[in-house]
Chains A and B, each alone.
Chain A
Amino acid sequence: KAGVTQTPRYLIKTRGQQVTLSCSPISGHRSVSWYQQTPGQGLQFLFEYFSETQRNKGNFPGRFSGRQFSNSRSEMNVSTLELGDSALYLCASSLHGDSFSGNTIYFGEGSWLTVV
């Protein structure tokens, strides 16, 4: 069973540009979450999608957005990039995105974004 797949793995963007990152969840998983990982702030939750609907959102500015498609694949977009957006962006998937069923959240290997 293939894991969570993220593309691209590495990218360099210029301040002010925008970027789109892609995520393919584990087959059958309908919940997709996005996280930002930085040395200073650690792992921080961006948002979660389930059946094409955003159900939860973290404390990030509106420049960070996402969407989910009918096949559960997801994209996140960051507009007007700032130097501080340089980070590892992680996608995670699970069956339901809810701890009630104790279902495991699986992470991809991430997309390394460098803003120069």
Chain B
Amino acid sequence: QQQVKQSPQSLIVQKGGISIINCAYENTAFDYFPWYQQFPGKGPALLIAIRPDVSEKKEGRFTISFNKSAKQFSLHIMDSQPGDSATYFCAATGAGGTSYGKLTFGQGTILTVHP
């Protein structure tokens, strides 16, 4: 029940294309869903996050779509650029108790954007 399932494992898109990464969760106690970007040799960096009370959040070229009833959320990267090539992780957490400081991560998606 604590898992977050992420797909695809790897994704190749052309410059200017749309990258879409999907995640699904089971734990209904999760109430905060961030996406992290990680470059080789670096720690994960927060890209964008969403709460279940909204269905979509956009920041620049990055958009999260959230479907509470299906317990699914996705990251859309518009106008993908070679500099977006990185590993992307979805994550989830809840409030208090066994969620203190704990993010449950998906397995990651390696995104490659070809010029």
Contacts and interface: CB of A to CB of B under 8 A. Distances in A.
Contacts of B102: 33, 45, 48, 56, 58
A55 B43 contact: no
B37 to A, nearest CB: 11
A27 B98 CA distance: 25
Interface string B80-110: 0000000001000111111111111111100
Interface string B47-70: 001010000000000000000000
Nearest to B32: A99
A33 to B, nearest CB: 4
Interface string B15-44: 000000000000000011010100001111
B31 A99 contact: yes
B98 to A, nearest CB: 6
A29 to B, nearest CB: 11
A108 B41 CA distance: 11
B12 interface: no
Contacts of B107: 42
B96 A98 contact: yes
Interface size class for chain B? 20 to 34
Tell me what chain A mostly uses at the interface: helix, strand, loop, or mixed. Answer: strand
B29 to A, nearest CB: 10
A73 B74 CA distance: 35
Nearest to A108: B43
B42 A109 contact: yes
Given A99-B31, A99-B93, A50 B44 contact: no
B98 A56 contact: yes
B101 A56 contact: yes
Given A43-B105, A98-B95, A102-B32, A31 B43 contact: no
B44 A90 contact: yes
Interface of B: 31-32, 34, 36, 41-46, 49, 51, 89, 93-108
17 contacts: A33-B102, A42-B89, A43-B103, A43-B105, A45-B104, A48-B101, A55-B100, A55-B101, A56-B98, A56-B101, A97-B100, A99-B32, A100-B95, A100-B96, A102-B51, A104-B34, A104-B46
